[in-house]
Each structure stands twice: as structure tokens, then as C-alpha cells.
């Protein structure tokens, strides 16, 4: 039987307990009583917050209330909103045709940002083998916990800088889609990018460390991802509490 390529990552120091703790925080947040009667409004608020945070992580930071009011026309913000709105409809295709979905995500994210002929296409043919390897993982090549899969998807797409313009928006959306399709966050209730933005220096540093491929670099990123997930779970609880007022 072939070895699971992600299995060794769970043996890095502190990674397994960090991911387990993050999973427990998510499970607890998902049991919030407000979700039984106000799940739709909560999901809409989370979608807005995580979209604004994702655009900010690509240096397009705008006030949340301005975006909510519809007065922000920045193309990266608008692209992040389009991407988030599309995730639910892409769930079924993600495990079957990840490359197709990535092209769609980039087309949504980068419209009005990069030339039309660059939409949905990797910027450099040299990244295609690694994109294919990532796609093979998503299409059943690993049985690793979904949080670990999402972290690797996110880190790898950031490292590859595969797409022109807001590549980070695509990477973060792909990670969220992995959590949704993998059943950890089926309703898209985790404001993952709020979690990443709340620790932005660590996010940038650990993602750069991941790109080195060293054990320390991988461990740094995975621990950050677990911490950001816990913060996303806290954000969900905060939104639920506000909705219940």
C-alpha cells in the first residue's frame, strides 16, 4: 500500500495536538444554539468578514462596514466576495477536478485585476507539476485530517504563486473549500481568513517558512494554521452571540 504523503506531517513536534485542539474548537463552535435558528444570517456575516479579511491579506484592506454598505468598489475586494459566494457551488467538483476549480476561483478573484487572457491560467508552466500533485492529493491521494489537507493546500498555493494578481485570495478560498468539501465546515461558517489576518505577521512568516520545505518551516505553518482555525471558531461564536441579541 502506498504511503500517505501527508502522514509524516502529523509526526512533526506539536502538530497533531495543535490540529486536534483546533478541531475541538471548531466542533464546539458548530454546536452553538443560534445556528439552529439563525444559520443563514450567521453564514452571510461570516462570508462578508472572511472575504474582507482575505482581500486585506492581499494588501487591499477596507473597512468592513464600508464593504457591507456597498460603497467599496475595489476589484480585489469584489473578487474576494465573488469567490466566497461561489464556494458552495464548487464543493462537488473540488475533489474530482481541482485544477478546473482553481481556474474558476482565479477567474472570479482576478476579474478586472489582470488581463482577460491570464484568467484561470498558471503564470508559469513550471508550477504545473506541483499543481497536478496537489490535485492528486485532493482527489483521494491522502486520508490525512481535513484540517491538515486544507493547510497544505493553502501553503502550497501561496508558495507556488501560481496565479497572477490576487493569488492569495485563490489560495485562501481553496483552503476554505477543502474544509467545506471535507465535511469539517459544510456550511462555510468558519471565518478562516479573519483568523489569518488576526495574526498577519505570523501568517506571512510561517507561509514563507512553509515554502522552504524544511521540517521547521512546515511545522511553523501548520501550527499557525491550527491557531488561525481556533480564532475562526471564536469569530463564529462572536457572530452567533451577536445574532442572538
pLDDT, one tens digit per residue, over 96-134 is 999 999 999 999 999 999 999 999 999 999 999 999 999
C-alpha cell at 175: 483552503
Query: Under DSSP, is residue 119 helix (H, G, I), strand (E, B) or coil?
Result: coil
pLDDT of residue 140: 87
Q: Is the pLDDT of residue 1 over 60?
A: no
Q: How far apart are CA 3 and CA 111, in angstroms?
A: 40
Q: How far apart are CA 143 and CA 67, in angstroms?
A: 39
The residue behind cell 509526526 is: 11
CA 98 to chain centre: 14
Whole-number CA gyration radius for the chain: 17
Q: How far apart are CA 145 and CA 19, in angstroms?
A: 9
CA 110 to chain centre: 16
This model's pTM is above 0.85: yes
Confidence of residue 37 (pLDDT cuts 50, 70, 90): confident
pLDDT of residue 2: 60
CA contacts within 13 A on the Cβ side of 68: 11
Q: Is the pLDDT of residue 206 over 90?
A: yes
Q: How far apart are CA 58 and CA 56, in angstroms?
A: 5
Q: What residues contact 139, with CB distance under 8 A and at least 6 apart?
A: 95, 96, 98
Amino acid at each position: 500500500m502506498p504511503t500517505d504523503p501527508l502522514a509524516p506531517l502529523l509526526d512533526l513536534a506539536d502538530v497533531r495536538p495543535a490540529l486536534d485542539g483546533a478541531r475541538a474548537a471548531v466542533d464546539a463552535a458548530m454546536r452553538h444554539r443560534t445556528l439552529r435558528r439563525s444559520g443563514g444570517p450567521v453564514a452571510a456575516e461570516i462570508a462578508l468578514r472572511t472575504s474582507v479579511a482575505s482581500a486585506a491579506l492581499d494588501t487591499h484592506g477596507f473597512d468592513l462596514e464600508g464593504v457591507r454598505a456597498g460603497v467599496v468598489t475595489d476589484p480585489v475586494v469584489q473578487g474576494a466576495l465573488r469567490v466566497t459566494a461561489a464556494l458552495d457551488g464548487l464543493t462537488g467538483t473540488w475533489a474530482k477536478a481541482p485544477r478546473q476549480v482553481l481556474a474558476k476561483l482565479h477567474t472570479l478573484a482576478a476579474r478586472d485585476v489582470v488581463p482577460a487572457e491570464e484568467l484561470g491560467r498558471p503564470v508559469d508552466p513550471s508550477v504545473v507539476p506541483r499543481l497536478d500533485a496537489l490535485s492528486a492529493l485532493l482527489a483521494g491521494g491522502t486520508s490525512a485530517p481535513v484540517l491538515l489537507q486544507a493547510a497544505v493546500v493553502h501553503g502550497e498555493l501561496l508558495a507556488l504563486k501560481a496565479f497572477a494578481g490576487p493569488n492569495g485570495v485563490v489560495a485562501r478560498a481553496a483552503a476554505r473549500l477543502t474544509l467545506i468539501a471535507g465535511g469539517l465546515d459544510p456550511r462555510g461558517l468558519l471565518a478562516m481568513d479573519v483568523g489569518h489576518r488576526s495574526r498577519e505577521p505570523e501568517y506571512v512568516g510561517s507561509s514563507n517558512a512553509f515554502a522552504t520545505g524544511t521540517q521547521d518551516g512546515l511545522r511553523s505553518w501548520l501550527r499557525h494554521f491550527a491557531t488561525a482555525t481556533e480564532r475562526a471558531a471564536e469569530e463564529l461564536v462572536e457572530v452567533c452571540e451577536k445574532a442572538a441579541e
